Amino acid sequence: MAGPDDSFERAAMARGFLRIAGVDEVGRGPLAGPVTAAAVVLDMAKLPEGLNDSKKLTARARDRLAKAIHAQAEVSVAHASVAEIDELNILRASHLAMVRAVAALDPAPDYVLIDGNMVPVGLAIAHETIVKGDARSVSVAAASIVAKTCRDAIMVDLAQQHPGYGWETNAGYPSKRHILALSEIGVTPHHRRSFKPVHNILYQDKIVNG
């Protein structure tokens, strides 16, 4: 299957939109860390070579492309915290991060291409949802790369503060090492207490310790 192209952006431009942002988020599945979103307005005449869904790229390729995107495009990154994830639920928190990322672009875009099939609440700009957008739209692919590299860097930093969970390699996802460390080391302030594996550990500790 071919990688993403600029057909969604060109179609929006043909309808009179001038500043088109792609937006994507990363980090819905992990047991720890924030959910991160990025919004990117590309220069359509100067696209970084090799744009693709961040999940289909190696870490080296993502890092190279992230640097090129930051150098050649308008970029914003935003997060929803672990506390917000636990309070709102992960879907609403990921949408909050997306809205924050779009709002941080200055000047604001006049059209937004959104990865997925749901429109985040509070997005008051003309928009279009694209299922598997990170594999179909160059702007959404760029946003996916920026969000992924940013969040991975956050988790590497948190891994230095909380060794043993393997966050430097699993980015907070529920790997065997991470699940084992939850049982052996316990829950950190960066764990999502509303997620079942973390909730279960806390519940078991409460029973044991009264």
Length of the chain: 210
Per the CB < 8 A criterion, the answer to whether 141 and 134 are in contact is yes
Whole-angstrom distance, CA of residue 53 vs CA of residue 172: 20
| Of 89, 93, 28, nearest in space to 55 by CA | 28
The answer to whether 152 is annotated as binding is no
Number of H helices, E strands in the chain: 8, 5
- Phi first, then psi, for residue 4 (nearest 5°) are -65, 155
Q: Does a cis peptide bond (omega within 30 degrees of 0) precede residue 107?
A: yes
Whole-angstrom distance, CA of residue 82 vs CA of residue 87: 9
DSSP strands (E only) in the chain: 20-26, 35-41, 74-80, 111-115, 127-130
Whole-angstrom distance, CA of residue 50 vs CA of residue 88: 36
The answer to whether 24 is annotated as binding is yes
Whole-angstrom distance, CA of residue 173 vs CA of residue 147: 16
Binding residues for a divalent metal cation: 24-25, 115
Binding residues: 24-25, 115
